[in-house]
Chains A and B, each alone.
Chain A
Amino acid sequence: MEVTYLKTDENGRVNLKDVENAIREDTALISVLFASNESGAIQPIREIGEIAKKHNIPFHSDGAQAIGKAKVDVRELGVDYFTFSAHKFHGPKGVGGLYIKEGAPFVNLIHGGNQMGGKRGGSVYLNGAIAMAEALKHANENLDYMYSEVMALRDELEDFILKNIPDTKSYVDKKYRLPNTLVVSFKGVEGESTLWDLNMHKIYAATGSSCSSERLEGSEVLEALGEDPEIAHTGIIFSLSRFTTKEDIEHVKSVLPKIIKRLRDISMTYAKVKPK
């Protein structure tokens, strides 16, 4: 089985021409993330759905990061399969969903019994399903709130950082970005050390720097967005929810500049004396 990976541009999006050109005689599936949890970038899913339909190729999109943060109507997207996970829209962990368009082919993941109409051995986790449905309802009801209040808080934080902390940069054009996501680079300060300090102040963010993951490998978010490797390890991802308050943002604003200053004092990027 071969996989063709497509490149993304500086906004983290795939190019529609690349999608079309990658299609072969034997292409069995096109799979594209709806929105990225690492960069907030939203892919042109509807347009890719049209390409898939034109060439009669099954099309899957993963919407884990999208639900509750962007409008998702699987009937309009042209997807044959759509996946999501409850814990991403404030439902319980341990349950997710797979939407399968009527008539789209699929094979069981869990075999054994003939439960669930033969489609999934064993009974479905009912509590989880009910909770997920409820969470989904709330998520969709609050989409407007996401796009107004929450987005305003995100913008406030982004503007504050770019204005008040020197040598910072944000990524992904807002018109292609989820309303709750902010990725910022802080020159001279490695991501994991920033997270450590934020953690001390009870602020929990994420970084694209692979130093903080268990395996030490994996993609560097910022490098994928075309940033220089020297800056790539300094990225911080702030991800807001509909529960984020003004006080939360004020807290980050009061603490972040001090953190960056402390870490830049440690970093040789801002050192006065250099090796000869």
Chain B
Amino acid sequence: MGRNDLLSGNVWEQYSNKVIERMNNPKFLGEFSEEDAKKRGAKLVVADFGSEACGDAVRLYWLVDPKTDKIIDARFKSFGCGTAIASSDMMTELTIGKTVDEAMKITNLDVEKALRDNPDTPAFPPQKMHCSVMAYDVIIEAAAKYKGEDAEKLRDSEIVCECARVTRGEIEKIIKEHNVKTVQELQKYTDAGKYCKSCVAPGGHEEKSVYLVDIIAEVQEEMKKKLKESAQSEDFENMSFLNKIKAIEKFLDEKIKPMLAMDGGSLELVDIREENGVTNIYERYLGACATCASGMMTLMAIEDELKRHFKTDKIKLHQI
């Protein structure tokens, strides 16, 4: 719980001077018409994102040079709070001079950074981050219009947390790696859900198609299933480590030791280690085997037996 939550400070006090300046005097406010485009030999692109019903909407105007795909000029109009106006103004400025493809790489994080007074202090408080998300989205809409493509295809649809730009893939990886069970644990490793909090669970500021709580539940379910499966699996490579150990011990006891015993020798299982997907078995020869000249050959033969029995190549037998 940050200082912001505790002191319930005025949101406006946390706006940077750059944000305030652009709220009061947006530099790239305006419109372009077909005539403007014609006069400058450019193609007019007009794209909307958001809606007044949501409280945030922006319209982006581009004049694009069709020979170079460069955005020679841009303007915007916006419906929304001051942060939305300032973000849209900065976003519009950042697209000028870039090609359409270059502009598509601009995200809300870039916009927010550009609005900072100094590099360490955010331009606005976390719950206002979502106002800048439109920046990325409207650029995609404009790019799609220019290219004549479907905006959905161009958009990075994997993104679950738009404010922090975290994809589903990244979140799932963290859940698996750290056995994450709650959003609180998840947020030790990612900023997802820390800004506007809409993506955490249903009932937030915006409705989302997938929430963090759902992803955690789904992945945990998947992990449990895998564990159950590996406990019951006959397939060596999918067995749990415990079952692998039991199976190897059983095989050595039932099939290998009796064979060695016929020549007065034996072996002792010392260790089993999994490394890089290979099961490494370490054994020590006992009795006659300890001094036998054919020890090496027998070792290779036992390894072959193991591989054949468990139907896998991923076993290595070591003598120590």
Contact = CB atoms under 8 A, between A and B. Distances in A.
A209 interface: yes
Interface in B120-156: 127, 130-131, 145
Contact of A275 (B46, B51, B197): B46
A118 interface: no
Contacts of B85: 193, 266
A10 B85 CA distance: 32
B82 A193 contact: yes
Given A196-B23, A268-B58, A212 B81 contact: yes
Interface stretch (B29-37, B110-118, B215-223, B296-304): B29-37
B51 A230 contact: yes
Interface stretch (B63-71, B72-80, B224-232, B276-284): B72-80
Interface string A188-209: 1111110010011000000001
**Could you say which interface size class chain B belongs to?**
35 or more
A83 interface: no
B102 interface: no
Interface string A214-253: 1111000000000011111110000000000000000000
Contacts of A234: 52
A193 B55 CA distance: 11
Instruction: Provide the main secondary structure of the chain B interface.
Output: mixed
Contacts of A276: 46
Contacts of B82: 192-193, 196
A54 interface: no
A216 B196 contact: yes
Contacts, number: 99
Nearest to B127: A216
Given A214-B11, A266-B26, A271 B59 contact: yes
A228 B54 CA distance: 11
Nearest to A275: B46
B41 interface: no
Contact of A190 (B24, B48, B81, B204): B81
B33 A273 contact: yes
Nearest to B196: A216
Which of B32, B58, B81, B85 neighbours the largest number of chain A CB atoms within 10 Å of its CB? B81
Nearest to A218: B205
Contacts of B78: 266-268
A32 interface: no
B203 interface: yes
B294 interface: no
A94 to B, nearest CB: 16
A14 to B, nearest CB: 24
Contacts of B57: 268
B80 A211 contact: yes
B184 interface: no
A214 B127 contact: yes
A156 interface: no
Nearest to A267: B79
A271 B46 CA distance: 12
A213 to B, nearest CB: 9
A274 interface: yes
Contacts of B204: 216-217
B161 interface: no
Contacts of B77: 266-268, 271
Given A190-B81, A232-B53, A273-B32, A216 B46 contact: no
Interface of A: 188-193, 196, 199-200, 209-212, 214-217, 228-234, 265-269, 271-276
Interface of B: 8, 11-12, 23-24, 26, 29, 31-33, 46-48, 51-59, 61, 77-82, 84-85, 127, 130-131, 145, 196-198, 203-205
